[in-house]
Amino acid sequence: MTRLFTVALALSIVSPASAAQALWKQTNHWTISGDTQTGVCIAETIYPAKGQSLLIAEGSIGWSLFLTGTNAVAGGLYRVDVATSSGGVGEFQGKGLSDGLVMFKNLDRETMWQLAKARQLAIEGLGAFNLTGSFEAILETHACFLAVTGEMS
């Protein structure tokens, strides 16, 4: 099930919008969308000057973080040190889903809290990313997830 979810999530990121995908909310820095077929919600922010984007997703396997436009290679395994401006540090383990796209999955609540509070995220070897508005984006992604999975009362 986890492998199937990963494939569905990756496809929802790199493929055009389907009929099951819908915009949940647009903020100054983030676009939050949900997919009722996969039960996944994604917050995306784009860095045009770098040709990169950062995506935060919540689905049946929990929280994941994706980076596009990186030097990641398909099938590559990445164990990288991570630091946030809010003081959170740690290590992410990820996999290159395709050239330029890396996924870090199974992020815990503490990691999500650090990302929500942070203004900046530095990932060794992959870059530094402005997280302005991440608090609202993460809250909205969770609300979207509850709605698309029917868990909202």
pLDDT class for 11, splitting at 50, 70, 90?
Answer: very low
Q: In sequence order, what E strands does the chain have?
A: 21-26, 31-35, 40-47, 52-59, 62-68, 77-84, 89-98, 101-107, 120-123, 127-130
How far apart, in whole angstroms, are the C-alpha atoms of residue 110 and residue 21? 28
Interval 95-122 mean pLDDT: 91
Residue 153: per-residue pLDDT: 47
Residue 18: per-residue pLDDT: 54
Q: Tell me the whole-structure pTM to 2 decimals.
A: 0.84
How far the first Cα of the chain sits from its last, in Å, is 26
How far apart, in whole angstroms, are the C-alpha atoms of residue 88 and residue 106? 17
How far apart, in whole angstroms, are the C-alpha atoms of residue 14 and residue 86? 30
